């Protein structure tokens, strides 16, 4: 029993209480790693589901339904009886009294794991957000899906009324993995899926522009793959603009630093993220992107009972490079902290620092094409795509979704059809 656990204020059983805020990749792994711990684990999220965020762009482009890439957190922990799942939006931590609160309900902890993730950063232009949603939540993906699909519907209606149908244009800002995957998926949606279904306009003429401020796409990948990616996208008729900076953004399009104006029906923001305010909650030092400085064991200075994992922690590799904000890194941190807490509860010494193992980078460019960097291995084109599919299906939690996602992908691959092309009232009402 640790010191902090014996200080529990009320008469609840003496089992230490572990509170985990955030049920993304980091939080879920931390809870799982506590499976055999003699502890009461409370996993709190403001949503009732765990989201497989790397596939959100497939929801935004109507290939998958939200239910295909999200699982009720309760189902995931159905059989792990030491986990209680709560749906609450935590807004404050009282580090002195050891409580987290949503403003109404307070939940006491002996150990606290903050895994609250990251959100979009508009680099000081937060007013751009309504015009250029990112891809972090299901609501973002549904909003983008609706804008993309509605643009074609409006063009067709205009054509029927003998007006000139404006060219349908989609802009993707940011040439990292998310931007590249989104650009490829939009190109397929417009040029293949929709192409035979309109009578007054030609969706195959839709324009897709991918804007990256840096000199190359996929800056985190080995340089050779950037050029492969650019060529693949251009073959799919995506306009790739590297070294191009967005200086203005509004409802109807963007303006670049060189003065060029590009009008668009939909703008996707994939350019940058900022950490959730966990560091501020617990009074930890943080970097410019809001990521908390944590110790070698991912704990907060002065609070050995508080840990921060995933996108909201600033962690460095042994070689001094920052650990990237990707799902495998969040999972490794979550697992490390879960095991560390379990060891402390069991009274075992645990002083190995967190070490990140980078297994590789992968990004799909579209049907039949992906780039993979795995140690010294490089895969591109169709072999890369097959590898990417297998890896993602493998990582999707849950048997059922693996089958449904596989069928949807196979179906899309064979027919170019997409199953989730719905524009609902509710989504339009939110516009």
Residue 163: CB minimum distance to its own copies, A: 9
Burial grade of 87 (CB within 10 A; 0-12, 13-18, 19 or more): middle
3-state SS, residue 198 = coil
Catalytic residue among 29, 146, 156, 181: 181
Identify which of residues 235 and 422 has a Cβ nearer to its own copies in the complex. Answer: 422
Give me Rg for the CA atoms of the chain.
23
198-257: contacts with its own copies (CB under 8 A)? 198-200
181 is catalytic: yes
Q: If binding is defined by CB under 8 A, does position 355 make contact with its own copies? A: no
What binding mask, one character per residue, do residues 74-113 give for its own copies by CB under 8 A, x or -? Answer: xx-xxx-x--xxxxx----------------xxx------
For the record, the structure tokens of 39 come out as: 């502890």
User: 84 is written with which tokens?
Assistant: 């209680």
Q: How many residues does the chain have?
A: 431
By the rule CB under 8 A, 409 interacts with its own copies? no
Q: How many CA atoms lie within 13 A of 23 on its CB side?
A: 27
Strand partners, 263: 253
Distances (CA, A) of 417 to 151, 198, 223: 18, 14, 34
13, burial (CB in 10 Å: exposed 0-12, middle 13-18, buried 19+): exposed
Smallest gap from Cβ 191 to its own copies, in A, equals 15
Contact 180, 187 (CB under 8 A): no
Closer of 78 and 316 to its own copies (Cβ): 78
The distance of closest approach from Cβ of residue 404 to its own copies in the complex, given in angstroms and rounded to an integer, is 6
**How many angstroms separate the Cα of 269 from the Cα of each of 51, 52, 138, 181, 261?**
19, 19, 15, 13, 17
Neighbours of 30 (CB within 10 A): 33
What is the closest distance, in whole angstroms, from the C-beta atom of residue 136 to its own copies in the complex? 11
Q: Pinpoint the alpha helices (H) of 189-264.
A: 223-235
Nearer to its own copies, 70 or 240 (CB): 70
Which of 23, 28, 30, 70: binder of its own copies (CB under 8 A)? 70
Site for its own copies in 168-197 (CB under 8 A): 194, 196-197
Per-residue binding string, its own copies, 21-50, x by CB under 8 A, is ---------------------x----xxx-
9 touches its own copies by CB under 8 A: no
- Output 198 or 317, the one with its CB closest to its own copies: 198
Q: How many residues bind its own copies (CB under 8 A)?
A: 63
Query: Is residue 276 near its own copies by the rule CB under 8 A?
Result: no
Q: Where does this chain touch its own copies (CB under 8 A) — which range of 257-265, 337-345, 383-391, 414-422?
A: 414-422
> Which span (145-153, 274-282, 374-382, 388-396) binds its own copies, by CB under 8 A?
145-153
Nearest to 211 by CA among 250, 168, 254: 254
Among 126, 153, 223, 287, binds its own copies (CB under 8 A): 153
Query: How far is residue 271's CA from residue 210's CA, in Å, rounded to a whole number?
Result: 11
* Distance in angstroms (rounded) separating the CA atoms of residues 384 and 364: 8
Q: Would you count residue 416 as binding its own copies (CB under 8 A)?
A: no
404 is a contact residue toward its own copies (CB under 8 A): yes
User: Which of 5, 100, 132, 149 lies at the binding interface for its own copies (CB under 8 A)?
Assistant: 149
Residue owning tokens 């804008």: 147
**8 near its own copies, judged by CB under 8 A:** no
Separation between Cα atoms, residue 401 and residue 155, nearest integer Å: 35
Cβ closest to its own copies, residue 74 vs residue 378: 74
- Mind spelling out the 3-state secondary structure of 67-135? HHCEEEHHHHCCCCCCEEEEECCCCEEECCCCEEECCCCEEECCEEEECCCEEECCCCCHHHCCCCCCC
**Residue 194 vs 262, nearer CB to its own copies:** 194
Interface pick for its own copies out of 36, 223, 403, 413 (rule CB under 8 A): 403
Catalytically annotated residues:
181
- Applying CB under 8 A, which residues contact its own copies? 42, 47-49, 65-68, 70, 72, 74-75, 77-79, 81, 84-88, 105-107, 137-139, 142-143, 149-150, 153-154, 156-158, 160-161, 194, 196-200, 400-401, 403-404, 407-408, 411, 417, 419-427, 429-430
């Amino acid at each position: 029993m640790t010191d902090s656990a014996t200080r529990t204020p009320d008469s609840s059983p003496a089992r230490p209480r572990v509170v985990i805020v955030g049920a993304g990749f980091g939080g879920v792994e931390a809870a799982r790693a506590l499976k055999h711990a003699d502890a009461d684990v409370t996993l709190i999220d403001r949503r009732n589901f765990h989201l497989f965020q790397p596939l959100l762009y497939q929801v935004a482009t109507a290939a998958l339904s939200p239910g295909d890439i999200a699982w009720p957190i309760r189902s995931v922990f159905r059989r792990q009886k030491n986990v209680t799942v709560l749906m609450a939006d935590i807004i404050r931590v009282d580090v002195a009294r050891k409580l987290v609160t949503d403003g109404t309900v307070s939940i006491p902890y002996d150990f606290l794991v903050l895994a609250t993730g990251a959100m979009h950063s508009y680099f000081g232009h937060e007013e751009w957000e309504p015009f250029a949603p990112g891809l972090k939540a299901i609501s973002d993906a549904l909003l983008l899906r609706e804008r993309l699909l509605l643009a074609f519907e409006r063009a067709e209606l205009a054509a029927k009324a003998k007006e000139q149908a404006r060219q349908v244009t989609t802009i993707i800002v940011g040439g990292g993995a998310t931007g590249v995957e989104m650009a490829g998926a939009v190109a397929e949606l417009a040029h293949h899926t929709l192409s035979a279904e309109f009578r007054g306009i030609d969706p195959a003429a839709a324009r897709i522009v991918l804007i990256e401020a840096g000199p190359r796409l996929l800056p985190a990948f080995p340089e050779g793959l950037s050029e492969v990616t650019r060529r693949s996208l251009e073959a799919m008729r995506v306009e790739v603009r590297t070294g191009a900076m967005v200086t203005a953004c509004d409802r109807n399009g963007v303006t670049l630093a060189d003065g060029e104006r590009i009008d668009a029906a939909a703008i996707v923001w994939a350019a940058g993220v900022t950490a959730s305010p966990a560091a501020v909650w617990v009074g930890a030092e943080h970097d410019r992107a809001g990521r908390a400085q944590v110790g070698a064991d991912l704990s907060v200075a002065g609070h050995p009972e508080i840990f921060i994992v995933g996108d909201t922690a600033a962690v460095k590799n042994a070689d001094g490079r920052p650990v990237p904000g990707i799902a495998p890194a969040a999972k490794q941190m979550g697992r490390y902290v879960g095991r560390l807490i379990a060891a402390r509860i069991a009274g075992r010494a645990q002083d190995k620092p967190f070490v990140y193992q980078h297994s590789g980078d992968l990004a799909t460019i579209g049907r039949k094409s992906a780039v993979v960097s795995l140690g010294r291995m490089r895969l591109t084109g169709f072999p890369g795509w097959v590898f990417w599919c297998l890896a993602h299906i493998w990582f999707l939690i849950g048997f059922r979704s693996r089958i449904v996602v596989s069928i949807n992908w196979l179906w899309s691959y064979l027919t170019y059809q997409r199953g989730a092309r719905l524009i609902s009232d509710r989504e339009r009402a939110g516009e």
